Amino acid sequence: MSEKSYTGGCQCGAVRYAVDKLDLDHTITCNCSRCQKLGSVLAFTPRDNFVLKSGESNLTEYRFNARKISHQFCKTCGIQSFAYGEMPDGAKMAAINVNCLDDVDPRSLTPHHVDGKDH
């Protein structure tokens, strides 16, 4: 798989987005206190590649630990389909929960596991 464009959103459909140049060959899973419980499979892209199409007023934010990642989730259905943050070099990024992409089977991917439990 190479970088492609996708659409996605939450379960109830209130939050919808489009993302360009997303590389599903480099997804991750993480065992931090949030990702482990959510079962997220994540792909990252520069923030400029992410466009929130609808539902901005229906989002709420959760931050934990170092409070550097803005976890966005739908107020109606509770699904976290993406988050905002920064890469180590300061570049703004979007973390996409691949489970929330349209027409993508995340079980067909081979994510790299990241040990975030102690970080």
pLDDT tens string 12-40: 999 999 999 999 999 988 887 787 888 88
**pLDDT band at 61, cuts 50/70/90?**
confident
Report the C-alpha gap between 44 and 103 in whole angstroms: 18
- 117: DSSP letter: T
SS3 call for 71:
strand
User: Do the Cβ atoms of 83 and 91 come closer than 8 Å?
Assistant: no
Give the predicted TM-score (pTM) of the model: 0.87
Which one, of 92, 100, 87, lies nearest residue 14 by Cα?
Answer: 100
